[in-house]
Amino acid sequence: MVIENDLRIMAKQYVPEGGSFADFEAPLFMAWQLNQECNIACLHCCEEAGHFMPDTLNSNEVANFCEQITTMKIPYVAISGGEPMLHKDFYKICEYFRKHNISLKVETNGLLITKEKAKWFGSLGFRSVQVSVDGATAEAHEKLRIKGKWQPTIDACKYLVEAGVTTEIVFVPTKFNIHETGQLIDMAHKMGIYGVYTGKTMRIGRAAENWDALCPTDAQYEEFFKVLKEKQASYEGRMKVYYYPYDVIEELKYRLEYPSASLLVIPNGKVKLIGPMPFLCGDLRKHTLAEIWERYKKSWKDPKVTAFAKKVIADPTMVAKANDWVELYN
Amino acid sequence: MKFANSVKVRSEKFGSVVFETLRERVFVSNTTGADVLKLIEDGKTKEEIIADLSAKYDGNESTIKNDIAEYFACLEQNNLLA
Ligand SMILES: C[S@@+](CC[C@H](N)C(=O)[O-])C[C@H]1O[C@@H](n2cnc3c(N)ncnc32)[C@H](O)[C@@H]1O
Ligand code: SF4
């Protein structure tokens, strides 16, 4: 019997060493954008969130999708939006996944999290709740997150921590908040936050429209990564400071070679190949999740996908087309 | 023995995949390792696991003990156990 070295950490996330994402019988991770509606209007929103979309999956379709996730034994689900807490089935969906012991992360602007709601999160044992905080001051945060008040967002984080929830902060750098990165990380640690996550802003959706006003300069990014490196070292073992050093183009190059074992479902039930590309590889209204997984595997080899990816790599402004969906195999 | 809350194990054709969802790290294991993982999931103790596998693989118990000790060390090192 030989088992030494059998438990190998996969060098590339979600891809077995010496193997491929296609070796898995089902996805390992499901990213689900529950809705398009939002209670605020961030200048950088890659989802261009705002109003409710009438083609959003209805309650029966939502329930059917949840059931397929459990049947396929998908271990980890991340719920996002729009603002997912505005979705009428949000609580039911979360309770269902937790009842089936699926690791669950929610990405939220935090504005609907009261003390009571935080206790509900605490009682269900979420993997984490990720709250978007885009500044160490109200001024910086509110300049980006139009109508999104900073103090209630910070209070939401405090309520979550008090309720024993693994609470994470996501920070998106722009010209006018990037200088507060270090201060926000220090603040997060004092608040008992589990981790702070950040990386370069993606030129998608409203961020593409507002690019000149938002995109930090090279010098600002250089300083940003220097601060992150220092903070990561100084908080090691006490708080996770995670930053993704690559931009969306580098990510795309990497994914072409190593697609991840994950699916991204948008509010109308269509399934995207990856956030920064417009391709759809399935539709929950037409296909089962198992069929979509097979289509997803096939899609990465589709010449339309590789040709588009090459074009984007040559001209990064084309990432702005990521929301102009293109269906593969109708 | 027990896995940490954030750890999910799933059977695959090649063995098992172990997903530590908090740190978002994925591990793969062949079918022999998958047997150990299944026994941990069933809540067996270290001793019970060694006994079970010695019977199943019909091998030298001390070699099996060593193999399993290494395997457990790897699980512990990667924060996979509760
Ligand atoms: C689209 S939002 C949905 C969840 C929730 N409404 C929120 O704001 O947290 C998910 C995350 O994406 C981030 N985000 C939005 N637009 C982005 C962009 N252009 N580049 C990078 N991150 C972005 C948000 O700041 C947020 O942390
Ligand atoms: S980033 Fe989140 S909070 Fe901001 S507009 Fe988009 S969905 Fe809404």
Spans of all domains in chain A:
2-327
C-alpha span between A9 and A182 (Å, rounded): 31
Cβ(A172) – ligand 1 distance below 6 Å: yes
Query: Which residues does a 6 A CB cutoff place in the pocket of ligand 2?
Result: A 38, 40-42, 45, 47, 49, 81-83, 109, 145
Contact B63 A8 (CB under 8 A): no
DSSP characters over A125-175:
T-SEEEEE---SSHHHHHHHEET--HHHHHHHHHHHHHTT--EEEEE---T
- Give pLDDT, residue A42: 98
Q: Is the pLDDT of residue B4 over 70?
A: yes
- Stretches where chain A sits below pLDDT 50 are 1-18
Output the CA A108–ligand 2 centroid distance in Å: 8
Q: Give the nearest partner residue to B12 out of A2, A23, A76, using CB atoms.
A: A23
Copy the structure tokens of residue A307. Answer: 């040709």
Q: Is-contact A148 A40, C-beta < 8 A?
A: yes
Q: How many CB pairs under 8 A join A and B?
A: 91
Q: Report how far residue A130's alpha carbon sits from residue A196's, in angstroms, rounded to the nearest whole number.
A: 9
Q: How far apart, in whole angstroms, are the C-alpha atoms of residue A49 and residue A132?
A: 15
Q: How far apart are CA A131 and CA A108, in angstroms?
A: 5
- In this prediction, residue A2 carries a pLDDT of 34
Per-residue model confidence (pLDDT) at position A19: 58
Residue nearest ligand 2's atom 1 by CA: A45
**Angle, helices A59-71/A90-99, rounded to nearest 10 degrees:** 20
CA distance A196 to A169: 5
May I ask the CATH architecture of the domain A2-327? Alpha-Beta Barrel (3.20)
**How near does any CA of chain B get to the CA of A70, in Å?**
12
The burial class, CB within 10 Å (0-12 / 13-18 / 19+), for B60 is exposed
Amino acid letter, A136 = A
**Token output for A49:** 């969130």
A31, two tokens = 């990213």
Q: Counting atoms of ligand 2 from 1, which one is nearest the CA of A83?
A: 7
For atom 3 of ligand 2, the residue with the nearest CA is A109
In chain B, domain spans: 7-77
Among the listed ranges A38-42, A206-210, B6-10, B29-33, which one has the minimum average pLDDT value?
A: B29-33
- Our CA-based measurement puts residue A34 at a distance from the nearest CA of chain B, in whole angstroms, of 21
Q: Is B34 exposed, middle or buried (0-12, 13-18, 19+ CB in 10 A)?
A: buried
pLDDT band at B26 (very low <50, low <70, confident <90, very high): confident
